[in-house]
Amino acid sequence: MSYTVSQLLTQDITFQPIEINGWVRGFRSNRFIALNDGSTINNIQCVVDFENTDEAILKRITTGAAVHVKGELVESQGKGQKVEIKVTSIDILGDSDPEEYPIQPKKHTFEFLRENAHLRTRTNTFSAVMRLRSSLSFAVHKYFNDNGFYYMHTPIITGSDAEGAGEMFRVSSLDAKNPPLDDDGNVDFKKDFFGKETNLTVSGQLEAETFAMSLGKVYTFGPTFRAENSNTSRHLSEFWMIEPEVAFMDLAGNMDLAEDFMKSVLSYILEHNREDLEFLDKRLLDEEKTKPQAQRSEMSLIEKIKFVVDNNFKRVSYTEAIDILKNSKPNKKKKFNYIIEEWGADLQSEHERFLVEKHFKCPVILFDYPANIKAFYMRLNEDGKTVRAMDILFPGIGEMVGGSQREERLDVLKEKMKALDISEEELWWYLDLRKYGTAVHSGFGLGFERLVMFATGMGNIRDVIPYPRTPQNAEF
Amino acid sequence: MSYTVSQLLTQDITFQPIEINGWVRGFRSNRFIALNDGSTINNIQCVVDFENTDEAILKRITTGAAVHVKGELVESQGKGQKVEIKVTSIDILGDSDPEEYPIQPKKHTFEFLRENAHLRTRTNTFSAVMRLRSSLSFAVHKYFNDNGFYYMHTPIITGSDAEGAGEMFRVSSLDAKNPPLDDDGNVDFKKDFFGKETNLTVSGQLEAETFAMSLGKVYTFGPTFRAENSNTSRHLSEFWMIEPEVAFMDLAGNMDLAEDFMKSVLSYILEHNREDLEFLDKRLLDEEKTKPQAQRSEMSLIEKIKFVVDNNFKRVSYTEAIDILKNSKPNKKKKFNYIIEEWGADLQSEHERFLVEKHFKCPVILFDYPANIKAFYMRLNEDGKTVRAMDILFPGIGEMVGGSQREERLDVLKEKMKALDISEEELWWYLDLRKYGTAVHSGFGLGFERLVMFATGMGNIRDVIPYPRTPQNAEF
């Protein structure tokens, strides 16, 4: 019978004839194959009887080769593994020329592996990262499903440019060189595929609100896009976002939901992905050793995840945060690039990091921001100057979650849209939600890749998504 | 304590003080509110003590209004429900002017509701459809997770135009009216955001293969796009596709996987969505009653789903299918629009429907198609003229799944690409999979909306996705 490496290493099936397929990770002493099939970070050792194996076959057992092995699972005589396969026959399914194969059993830089992203999941680090990404995705769906939320696919192509979260990519099937023009000499998007100008979505929130106002609790988990020229280790042009939206829930409930959600999905991987996490924990430790002591993290990867799961997030109003920042050492000594002078200032990532990493040393939920630095749809507080917004800041990552209670009052929302020159005509359906059976409701957005970065300890967002899209790069 | 309607109707919490939020579905005799909050298709009856309730409040209890109710859950005196809420107080959270509210408690056409898609989940039909869509999504993730597959997010924006599944939408941030031109006078896509021409993906398969050849078993579940001017009840410009890809699996294994997968997700909704299915079952029955007897389905919706779960799919080679079709009545009587003359003909949906609905009367897996009517990446059989392709055909839906074993032999694949003028340079990474540790592998694609149509009995694909994108339509 055919098994996976994971099954062989964890189930009690010794001394039965077994078959297995996999790729050679290493071959030493003309005898010991380290075989991997992706089912676990661990390899299984296959012991070849080299005296009775064709020399020509032995030569083809090279790193990266695909093989089919028959044998018996036996207790291992050697160190480092409990069981191993005593090989009775081996077939080479696909060769891998050691002179040419890019993924040699040595340390490759992440830059090199990004250029070979089609092969990088053949390394321990990237296979662990992608398994964790998959587990986290499942944990997301499981959390919401268990808690009565409905998954909703919001549209990717949008005719709206009022989503307001950033620069958009245009989607078109017009002739790129000679687009049809209207009487005014402008591109005639009426002749485009959808009969109007369309873009890639930057957020599914507005549509999610429509479903929340009928189905109660919904969430999206889909790709979103930013046509911004940010070449940083924390930005992608295409990334996946999770956006729950809940009717009859206020900002306090929103904070509770976000915190419970984060803890739940991180608990899930602690329980289900122990081996991958242990590998990445060690990897991060090795990486940190190359840094000066002062820059090293006080906690290991697994400790950081456990810390989030086990401790309450600190809830701090924007106003309190400004007080803390104004009186902070780096502000007084003008070490911040942006000095905090007064209430109303937008927080930069240097300020967020100070609050999270130096001051509170735990995840922080900031709430009740000044209205004029936040989006039009956020619920205005009774003070008339702050909105019921919240951001969740994580150590080492910065902003992980951004959310708010939504403005449910038709007149207040219209006034705000007018002030910001957002077309009522375009968002007629969004306004309808406030006309017919409006109610308090709230939600948040979480950039999935930021979560994967936190959970894997990877420092560059390009290394936690299969094929990153960034300015000047859409390879594969 | 605050509850959902679903909790109140299914849990044993009578005679406790309860609170609930929801939307009024109906109000009769100035006394009985049918309240819904999306947690179930069922409403809970709230009995108002109208003699002790302010007249002004009673007037605002209109269809669509959002209300907050306090009361006691008691055994119902009336028919049609076991429990009801004896209301002690009611607050109107959001009014709904009965003169203006589009969703009145009467039958609306699906066309009308499509124009009001932001409100259509306030009807029983669309709330049931969207809950089922959500359940099916979860069942998909659960099936793959339980079976050792990793979820993979393949890129949406692609620099490749070799995916070969259809016409693509261009993604650009160049000036639409005056794009930069190169020396030859063509649009200079080197100056575009990604440094080259980019499109929206039509399939994640090629990228999924890269992960399968390292992680073993993977799947995608994401949006895909077709810029085709098909205005039919079975086509969308933006739809969600599920694409598993498995290393070391041949075409027979692929058929087993697809069949097991379909049965599993359909079993899931039979178990978890009984009430929604019963509602849609009845809806379909009512709809069918308006049709002539001959056009009515022999089975109800739930019977059809059970039939798929309980019966083996019929596996038929293309060659056998052609024989059946050639000798069929509609072919001999020239009732088909495309008469089947000889082996090699491409099957049209009329042929597929004949096989599935008239001849076999069950889901059919057709396999081993002529090479020249299928994609370049499909595994050539030893006969040199057929490929290891399979299509799964469903009654009432037509093609539900398309898949194949992939060509794993470098030389054969290169030859095929050359013949079809597909650039090796562009697909260098895809060819690498055949250079380094190649192996038999297979996968399939399933259009998620087709599955939702089958599972809900809805006849138009626009009615099973929140906000459909079709030619000339990207509203909301």
**Residues of chain B neighbouring A198 (CB-CB closer than 8 A):** 474
Q: How far is B281 from chain A (nearest CA, A)?
A: 21
Kindly report the average pLDDT of chain B as a whole number. Answer: 95
Q: How many CB contacts within 8 angstroms connect chain A with chain B?
A: 318
Instruction: Check residue B166 and give its pLDDT.
Output: 79
Task: Provide the 3-class DSSP secondary structure of residue A103.
Answer: coil
Smallest CA–CA distance, residue A320 to chain B, in Å, is 32
Give the one of A130, A137, A436 whose C-beta lies nearest to B101's C-beta: A436
Q: Could you give phi then psi for residue B270, rounded to 5 degrees?
A: -60, -35
Inter-chain residue contact A439 with B174, CB threshold 8 Å: no
- The token duo for B68 is 């907050």
* CA-based end-to-end distance of chain B: 36
Residues of A in contact with B194 (CB under 8 A): 237, 469, 471-474
Tens digit of pLDDT for each residue in B51-61? Answer: 999 999 999 99
| Tokens of residue B439, six digits | 């192996």
Q: How high is the pLDDT of residue A309?
A: 97
pLDDT digits (tens, 9 = 90+) for B281-337: 999 999 999 999 888 888 999 999 999 999 999 999 999 999 999 999 999 999 999
What pLDDT is recorded for position B165? 66
Closest Cα in chain B, distance from residue A415 (Å): 18
Q: What residue ranges of chain A have pLDDT lower than 70? A: 162-165
> Residue A211 and residue B432: Cβ atoms within 8 Å?
no
pTM: 0.97
Which chain A residue shows the shortest CA-CA distance from B100?
Answer: A436
- The predicted pLDDT at position B462 comes to 98
Give B52→chain A minimum CA distance, Å: 24
Picking from B134, B177, B238, the nearest residue to A179 by CB comes out as B177
Q: How far apart are CA B289 and CA B282, in angstroms?
A: 11
What is the rounded CA–CA span in Å between residue B466 and residue B476?
10
Mutate to test the interface with A, among B2, B171, B184, B206 (most CBs of A within 10 A): B171
**B275 exposed, middle or buried (CB, 10 Å; 0-12, 13-18, 19+)?**
middle
In angstroms, the Cα distances linking A219 to A423, B1, B123, B246, B462 are 26, 24, 20, 29, 20
What is the pLDDT at residue A298? 85
Q: Give, in degrees to the nearest 5, the angle at Cα A262 between A259 and A266.
A: 140
The pLDDT score that the predictor gives to residue B395 is 87
Residues 6 or more apart whose CB falls under 8 angstroms from that of A190 comprise A182, A196
C-beta of residue B117 within 8 angstroms of C-beta of residue B84 = no
- Please state whether beta strands A157-158 and A44-47 pair in parallel, antiparallel, or not at all (unpaired): unpaired
From A82's Cα to the closest Cα of chain B, the distance in A is 23
Give the best residue of A206, A214, A239 to mutate against chain B (max B CB count within 10 A).
A214
Residue B152 with chain A: CB contacts under 8 Å: 130, 134, 466
CA–CA dist B44, B29 (Å, integer):
16
Nearest CA in chain B to A103: B436
Q: Which of B151, B176, B408 lies nearest to residue A187, judging by beta carbons? A: B176
Of A31, A32, A95, whose CA–CA distance to A67 is shortest?
Answer: A95
**Measured between alpha carbons, how far is B206 from B225 in angstroms, rounded to an integer?**
15
Chain A residues closer than 8 Å to B434 by CB: 94
Please check whether the domain covering B124-167+202-463 is classified as CATH 1.10.150.530: no
Separation of alpha carbons B234 and B453, rounded Å: 9
What's the rounded Cα separation, in Å, for the pair A308 and B367? 51
Instruction: Return the percentage of chain B with pLDDT > 90, whole number.
Output: 92
Mutate one of A118, A133, A170, A217 to test the B interface: name it (highest B CB count within 10 A): A118
Q: Any idea how long chain B is? A: 476
- Cβ partners under 8 Å of residue B365, min gap 6: B255, B258, B259, B313, B314, B315, B316, B390, B391, B392, B393
Ranges of CATH 3.30.930.10 domains, chain A: 124-167+202-463
Q: Provide the H-helix boundaries in A347-447.
A: 349-353, 410-419, 428-435
Helices within A77-203 (DSSP H only): 110-115, 124-146
Instruction: Check if the beta carbon of residue B52 is closer than 8 Å to that of residue B77.
Output: no
Comparing A286-290, B143-147, B431-435, the range with the smallest average pLDDT is A286-290
Among residues B452, B457, B446, B447, the alpha carbon closest in space to that of B302 is found at B457
pLDDT value at residue B161? 74
**The amino acid at B339:** I
Residues A45, A77 contacting (CB under 8 angstroms): no
Query: Within B273-375, where are the H helices?
Result: 274-289, 301-310, 318-326, 329-332, 349-353
Measured between beta carbons, which residues in chain A are less than 8 angstroms from residue B92? none
Residue type, A349: S
Count CB-CB contacts under 10 A for residue A357.
18
Which segment of A158-167, B94-103, B118-127 scores lowest on mean pLDDT? Answer: A158-167
Q: How far is B133 from chain A (nearest CA, A)?
A: 8
Task: Write the CB contacts of B333 (distance below 8 Å, at least 6 apart in sequence).
Answer: none
- From B99's Cα to the closest Cα of chain A, the distance in A is 11
**Hey, which residues does B442 pair with through a beta bridge?**
B246, B405
Q: What is the least distance, in Å, from the CA of B89 to any CA of chain A?
A: 17
A119, A170, A476 member nearest B207 (Cβ): A476
A150–B130 CB contact, under 8 Å: yes
Question: Which DSSP string corresponds to B298-316?
Answer: SS-HHHHHHHHHHSPPEEE
| A466 to B248: CB separation less than 8 angstroms, yes or no | no
Cβ atoms A143, A265 nearer than 8 A: yes
Please judge whether A193 and B237 are an interchain contact, meaning their C-beta atoms are less than 8 angstroms apart: yes
Tell me what the mean pLDDT of segment B259-284 comes to.
98
Please say whether the beta carbons of B401 and B364 come within 8 A.
no
**Backbone dihedral angles phi then psi of residue B59, each to the nearest 5 degrees:** -70, -25
First to last CA, chain A: 36
Q: Do A127 and B210 touch (CB under 8 A)?
A: no
CA distance A286 to chain B (A): 25
As a 3-state breakdown, chain B gives helix, strand, coil percent values, each rounded to 5, of 35, 25, 40
What's the DSSP call for residue A225? Answer: E
Would you state the pLDDT for residue B81? 86
Please give the pLDDT value at position B164.
65
Closest-CA distance of chain B to residue A94, Å:
4
Q: Do B194 and A152 touch (CB under 8 A)?
A: no
User: Rounded distance, CA B38 to CA B66, Å?
Assistant: 12
Distance of CA B274 to the CA centre of its chain: 19
Mutation target for B interface from A120, A153, A173, A413: give the one with most B CBs within 10 A: A153
> Do A448 and A240 contact (CB within 8 A), yes or no?
yes
In this complex, do A476 and B101 lie within 8 Å of one another by their Cβ atoms? Answer: no
**Residue B153: its chain A contacts at CB < 8 A?**
133, 137, 223, 240, 465-466
Q: Taking CB atoms and an 8 Å limit, are B211 and A121 in contact across chains?
A: yes
Contact between A121 and B215 using a beta-carbon 8 Å cutoff: yes
CA distance B150 to chain A (A): 5
Identity of residue A281: D
What 3-state DSSP class applies to B40?
coil
- Distances from the Cα of B22 to the Cα of A9, A213, B61, B91, B105, angstroms: 52, 9, 12, 11, 16
B121: DSSP letter: G
Using a 10 angstrom Cβ sphere, with 0-12 exposed, 13-18 middle and 19 or more buried, the burial of residue A289 is exposed
Q: In angstroms, rounded to a whole number, what is the distance separating the alpha carbons of residues B414 and B159? A: 20
Tell me the two tokens of residue A399.
Answer: 């902003």
Type of residue found at A223: P
Shortest CA distance from B467: residue in chain A: A155
Q: Per CATH, is B2-101 categorized as 3.40.640.10?
A: no
The pLDDT score that the predictor gives to residue A47 is 97
pLDDT of B240 above 90: yes
Residues in A closer than 8 angstroms to B214, CB to CB, are 23, 38, 119, 121-122, 127
Q: List the one residue out of B106, B117, B99, B20 whose CA is nearest residue B62.
A: B99
Q: Which chain B residue has its CA at the smallest distance from A220's CA?
A: B134
Instruction: Tally the residues of chain A.
Output: 476
Cβ distance of B435 and A223 shorter than 8 Å: no
- Of all helices (H) and strands (E), which one includes residue B433? helix B428-435
Q: Does residue B46 contact residue B84 with C-beta atoms inside 8 Å?
A: yes
pLDDT for position A106:
85
CA angle A267, A271, A275 (to 5 degrees): 120
In B148-272, beta strands by DSSP E: 150-151, 157-158, 170-172, 198-200, 217-225, 238-247
CB-based contact B156 A223, cutoff 8 Å: yes
pLDDT above 90 for B42: yes
Tell the residue number behind the tokens 């020249």, with chain if given. Answer: B372
Q: Which of B157, B434, B475 sits opposite A474 (nearest CB)?
A: B157
In this structure, the number of other CB atoms found within 10 A of the CB of residue B376 comes to: 18
Choose among A65, A137, A171: nearest Cβ to B171: A171
For residue B195, the chain A residue with the least C-alpha distance is A472
Domain with CATH 2.40.50.140 in chain A: 2-101
**Residues of A with Cβ-Cβ distance to B121 under 8 angstroms:** 210-211, 214-215
What's the pLDDT band for B123 if we cut at 50, 70, 90?
A: very high
Q: Is A195 exposed, middle or buried (0-12, 13-18, 19+ CB in 10 A)?
A: middle
pLDDT given at position A361? 92
Which of chain B's residues have a Cβ under 8 Å away from the Cβ of A174? 176
- The H-or-E segment that residue A198 falls in is strand A198-200
Between helix A251-272 and helix A124-146 the angle, nearest 10°, is 130
Query: Other C-beta atoms within 10 Å of A101: how many?
Result: 19
Q: Distance (Å) from the C-alpha of residue B250 to the closest C-alpha of chain A?
A: 13
